[in-house]
Structure formats: C-alpha cells, structure tokens
C-alpha cells in the first residue's frame, strides 16, 4: 500500500475549508466562522459515519476501528491578523514540524523537501510555481528499500535532505543522511513520480550533504564532517567538499576541509552544517548553518573563486539569525537557520529556512518549521536575509502572485473519514509502512488498528497512524469503536507523541467493572495515570477530543453523540516540547492501539551533539 501515489485526494466526507481570514472586513466575524466551521466539520463527518456500511458491524476483539479524524487550527496570530490583499501570505509556509528545508527550481517548477528522521514515509516533497502556493505531491522515500530505519530512535533516521536539479542529464537528485547507515542519494526524471533506490556514498562522511552542479558539467558534494586533527572543543566540526562524478555515481576523494569550525575558529563556533554551494555572477558562494540547532542557530556565508575553495567569510555574518533579540517579544520566531537559496524565474532570490515559534520561549511543541524570505544583496555582493534587529516577518507579499484557497499556511480545518483504500499523505507511521498493523479495507469506511505488543516507547513499528501538529491552539477529534480484551490489557485512542519518553495517551480499555477511559502520561520513569472515568458506551462507540490552548491541553470523551464530558483539563503542554525533551522533531497526534500500555518502557540512551 503506497503512501505516495495518492495525489492530495480528500475523501468525499472530508473537509478542508477554513483558512485564516484573507479578505478585508472578516476580522470581526472570524471567531464565529471558526465555531461554525467546526460544527459543520463534525456534522459532515458524523453524517459519513452513519452512512451504509459504517454501522451495525461486530468489531473484532483486540482491534480498534476509527470512524473519522478531524483537526482544526485556531492560532491567535492568524485570527488577529487577517490577510488583506490577495498577494499576501503567512510565514511559516509549512507550519508544524517541517525542518531542514531544501529547494530547487527547474523552469517554472519549484520543489521543496524536508527532514523526517524515523517517520515513514520519508522526505515529503512539495511543488509550487510561485513560491506562495505549495502542494504536497508525495514523498521521496516511500518504499522500505529506500528507508531502512529499524532500531533507530525517533530523533535519528533521515537528516537534512537536499534537492537539486542537474541540467546536464535532466535529472533531479535528493541527497541525505541516514544517521545509522551513512550518506546516499536517490534520483528521478519525474519528481511527481517514483524515485530510485538509494545509491550509497561510502566516500562521503559526516552528515548534511548537498550536491552542486556547476555549469561546466562538473559536480561537487559539500557536507559537515570532522575537522582535520582532533576536535578543539565540543561541537567543533568542519565543512568538506569533494568532486562528484554523476555519470559514475560516486564521490571522488579527497574530501578537502574548506571551513574549520565556522566563520571564526577563535570564537569556538559549534555545529557548522547544512552547507550549500551556489554560483552567482561568476563567483562561488558557500552558505552554512552555524551555532547548533537551538537558540543560537544562524546562517553564514562565504565566497570564493572556485567550488573547491578557498572561501572567505563575509565580514557582516551572520546573514540570518534572531538569537540576539528579546525572546519574550510579541510573536517571537527563533532558532532560525539551515537555509537554502533559490533564484526565481523572474530573477530575484528567495531563501527557505527553518525556525520555530515558541510560546514564552519554551513551548516549541510544533518543532522547527519551514519559513521563507526574500534575499537582499549587500553593496559588496553578499546575500543576506536579516541584519541587525531585522525581524523574520510573519506576513509577506509577492508581487503578481495570487494566494489560492487551499494554501498550506494559516489556520485551517481538515478531516478524514477513511473511505479511501490508502492513507493520505499527511499520515505517518514509525520506521516502516506498518501495513500489517492497520487496514482501511477490513471494514469499509474505517481505519482498523490491531492492538499489538509493539509500543510507541520502543524502536519498532507500533500500531500508530499520526500527523504533525501545525498550530499551538487546535482541536482534534475522532470516533472509535473498540471492544478490548481485559486479560491482554488492550488499549486504544489518541496519542500525543514527542518521542519515546514524552507522550500523552488518552486511552480506552476494559476494567473489571466495564470500560474505562483514561489519560496516561508516559515518561522515562514510567507511566502515570493522570485521570480516569468508567464509561458505558453504546455499541462500544467512543468519541475522543483534544483541545490545545497553547500551554495546556484539555481531554474530552463522549459516549453519546457530541455529548462531550471533560476527562482532564490544564494538562501541561510544555512536557511535550523540545525544551523538555530530546530530538529534532515536533509533536505528532495519532490514532494508536496497543497491549499493556502501562508497562515501563526500557531505558534508552541519548545521543549528544547536533
């Protein structure tokens, strides 16, 4: 069952209707619009669940059947700052965990990819013709042969994909790091279709490789790696470059060090990474991220006369950062860096990069998101995005571009009634396709998950279908039909997942007196039951809902249609943030089925570094 062949298909009963206000005069009506849209979405999906083929069936034991899933974003900024002109759009262009963006252009077509670490399928690919309106067209790595992730932690797996186009053979390349396996690339003539199996590059060390195709027919791989000699301090890394024979599909040694540590080694810069080379007006520019992937993140630029160097840093670096600004300013954007440049068909330059939108400088539950900005040029010919106290804008304009109705940014509502035979592209599993864990055909109109021993605290593939959180304030809901087995401690419901050690699980299970709905906090120290309630659902049908207020979550259930009961309120959202955990992903929310959810997960080590 392929995840990538489904081209943005939305089932007949799903809804993708509400975007942040985009016309003048709607601001006063926006909150009412949100409420009405939520009601309509629930009604439509409830109507789907009552259609023929979705009622009066006998559920299998140890299997949970999910009737629908809805998600509605409600962030304050979009509500308070409606777009007033058709050429305006919001930053981030890909909200939620879409980190390490890379972009390329061929003619009228732009393609953008981001990291996925240990989620499957890997490396979502988006297409645009104007840099404003983006549409996901699939995943680059959508087959197990491309994506060996067994045994890797959620924060491992695929790091920093880089996409480029080789005009000499009319082929697209995506090069990346599988952190436990090494560096590799895949290629295709048609980015809307399938990509090749991996071509591994044992000659390329380190992480974050990218390919530069020069106009003379030669190509080069540039990447993060260890410096010459022993590291001088923690986080001391280097940038290396070597020629790439794209005809023979191998890197040519040696890999020469062209940046040692960063712009100024005396300041002990850390984690120089994410490099890209560009040829602009006859000069070669080397752009890198510097400062680590946290609050000190930045982007820096070098220039030279040859792809192999030497490269001289600009005296006004960094060219992008927000690290020196007040972290408690209104609507802060932080951690900015890991950028990639693209020249438009009109001739101007833009940059995509990652950044995050923390609440109170701590609640970065959404992870690192994909932003975009126009590039400016200094009098001495260096590109930059910010200088001094420049802020990353949350509203931008692009001349002569009209914003579409189905954009990827702002507040929106989506829904899935599971009437298709394939999962939509927004859904993710862990480490493998997991098709042996779920079915969309065993009962028409339902997603069935089998309760299994494999847990989201381990390193296998649990019965978990999840999607990114894309808003600080949101509401998501599902309806589940579940007849659990008490002796096997079956449980199923909604899972909020940051990593193996930071999770909230709103679960239904069977107790001696009947069914129970509970909220479990899963941590490195074990599993804590935060709340529970005995329930008596008709036909084993339960509705579940999570409402996020940004800093806290509320959890609801209903055993009668739309008669919501509060299970727990004010649950700490900071617990799932990167500030309180480990890893490079954002939080996901998913449909989950498991056996013995209260077992203490085995302790796992932490990787230090990036």
Catalytic residues: 100, 273
* DSSP-derived secondary structure letter, 93: S
Angle, alpha carbons 534-538-542 (nearest 5°): 65
Q: Between the CA of residue 84 and those of 396, 397, 499, 607, what are the distances in Å?
A: 11, 11, 39, 46
Phi, psi of 539 (to 5 degrees): 65, 25
Is the separation of the CB atoms in 317 and 79 below 8 Å? no
Nearest Cα residue to 213 out of 172, 184, 153 = 172
Is the separation of the CB atoms in 544 and 478 below 8 Å? yes
Q: Residue 237, class by beta-carbon neighbours within 10 Å (0-12 exposed, 13-18 middle, 19+ buried)?
A: buried
> What is the CB neighbour count within 10 angstroms for residue 196?
17
Q: Residue 557, class by beta-carbon neighbours within 10 Å (0-12 exposed, 13-18 middle, 19+ buried)?
A: buried
Cα(608)–Cα(289) distance, rounded to whole angstroms? 18
Q: Which residues contact 101 (CB under 8 A, 6 or more apart)?
A: 94, 112, 113, 114, 338, 340, 352, 353, 354, 370
Cα(43)–Cα(24) distance, rounded to whole angstroms? 29
Cα(427)–Cα(463) distance, rounded to whole angstroms? 13
Read off the tokens for 348.
Answer: 């101007």
Report the largest interatomic distance among the alpha carbons of the chain, rounded to a whole angstrom.
77
Q: Which residues contact 525 (CB under 8 A, 6 or more apart)?
A: none
Is the separation of the CB atoms in 401 and 87 below 8 Å? yes
Nearest Cα residue to 477 out of 533, 561, 394 = 561
Angle, alpha carbons 472-476-410 (nearest 5°): 45
State the number of CA atoms in the 13 A half-sphere of 64 facing the CB.
Answer: 29
With residue 426 as reference, give the H or E element that holds it. Answer: none
> What is the CB neighbour count within 10 angstroms for residue 352?
25
Cα(266)–Cα(260) distance, rounded to whole angstroms? 10
SS3 call for 52:
coil
Tokens 């994506």 found at: 147
Looking only at the bridges linking them, the beta strands covering 273-280 and 283-290 are: antiparallel
- Please write down the HEC assignment for all residues of 133-154: CCEEEEEEECCHHHCCCCCCCC
Looking only at the bridges linking them, the beta strands covering 413-416 and 334-343 are: unpaired
Cα(38)–Cα(44) distance, rounded to whole angstroms? 10
């Amino acid at each position: 069952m392929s995840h990538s062949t489904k081209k943005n298909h939305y089932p007949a009963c799903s809804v993708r209707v509400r975007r942040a206000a985009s016309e003048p005069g709607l601001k006063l009506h926006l909150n009412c619009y949100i409420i009405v849209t939520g009601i309509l979405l629930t009604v439509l999906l409830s109507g789907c669940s009552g259609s023929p083929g979705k009622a009066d069936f006998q559920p299998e034991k140890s299997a949970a059947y999910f009737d629908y899933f809805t998600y509605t974003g409600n962030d304050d900024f979009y509500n308070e700052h409606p777009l007033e002109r058709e050429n305006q759009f919001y930053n981030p262009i890909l909200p939620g965990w879409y980190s390490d963006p890379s972009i390329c252009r061929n003619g009228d077509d732009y393609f953008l990819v981001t990291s996925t670490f240990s989620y499957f399928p890997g490396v979502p690919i988006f297409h645009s013709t104007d840099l404003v309106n983006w549409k996901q067209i699939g995943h680059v790595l959508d087959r197990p042969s491309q994506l060996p992730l067994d045994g890797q932690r959620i924060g491992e797996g695929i790091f920093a994909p880089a996409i480029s186009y080789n005009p000499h053979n009319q082929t697209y390349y995506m090069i990346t790091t599988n952190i436990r396996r090494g560096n590799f690339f895949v290629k295709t003539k048609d980015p809307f279709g399938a990509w090749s199996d991996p071509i591994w590059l044992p000659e390329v060390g380190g992480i974050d490789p990218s390919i530069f195709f020069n106009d003379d027919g030669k190509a080069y791989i540039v990447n993060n790696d260890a410096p010459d000699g022993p590291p001088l301090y923690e986080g001391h890394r280097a940038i290396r470059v070597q020629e790439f024979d794209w005809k023979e599909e191998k890197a040519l040694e040696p890999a020469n060090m062209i940046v040692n540590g960063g712009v100024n080694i005396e300041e002990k810069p850390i984690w120089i990474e994410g490099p890209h080379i560009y040829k602009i007006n006859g000069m070669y520019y080397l752009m890198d991220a510097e400062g680590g992937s946290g609050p000190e993140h930045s982007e820096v630029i070098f220039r030279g006369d040859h792809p192999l160097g030497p490269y001289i840093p600009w005296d006004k670096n960094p060219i992008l950062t927000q690290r020196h600004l007040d972290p408690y300013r209104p609507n802060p954007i932080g951690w900015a860096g890991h950028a990639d440049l693209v020249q438009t068909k009109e001739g101007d330059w833009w940059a995509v990069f990652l950044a995050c939108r923390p609440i109170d400088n701590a609640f970065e539950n959404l992870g690192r998101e994909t932003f975009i900005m126009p590039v400016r040029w200094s009098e001495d010919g260096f590109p930059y995005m910010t200088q001094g106290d420049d802020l990353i804008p949350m509203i931008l304009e692009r001349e002569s571009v009209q914003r579409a109705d189905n954009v990827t940014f702002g507040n929106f509502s989506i829904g899935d009634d599971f009437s298709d035979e394939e999962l939509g592209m927004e859904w993710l599993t862990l480490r493998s396709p997991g098709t042996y864990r779920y079915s969309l055909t065993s009962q028409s109109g339902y997603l069935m998950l089998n309760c299994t021993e494999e847990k989201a605290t381990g390193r296998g593939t649990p019965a978990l279908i999840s999607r990114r959180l894309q808003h600080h304030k949101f509401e998501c809901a599902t309806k589940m039909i579940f007849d659990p087995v008490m002796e096997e401690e079956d449980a199923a419901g909604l899972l909020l997942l940051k990593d193996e050690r930071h999770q909230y699980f709103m679960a239904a299970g069977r107790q001696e007196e009947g069914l129970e709905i509970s909220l479990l906090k899963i941590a490195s120290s074990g599993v804590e039951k935060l709340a529970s309630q005995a329930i008596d659902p008709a036909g084993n049908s339960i509705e579940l809902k999570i409402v996020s207020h940004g800093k806290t979550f509320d959890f609801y259930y209903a055993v009668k249609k739309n008669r919501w009961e509060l299970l727990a309120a004010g649950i700490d959202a900071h617990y799932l943030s990167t500030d309180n955990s480990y890893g490079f992903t954002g939080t996901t929310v998913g449909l989950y089925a498991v056996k013995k959810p209260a077992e203490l997960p085995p302790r796992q080590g932490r990787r230090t570094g990036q």
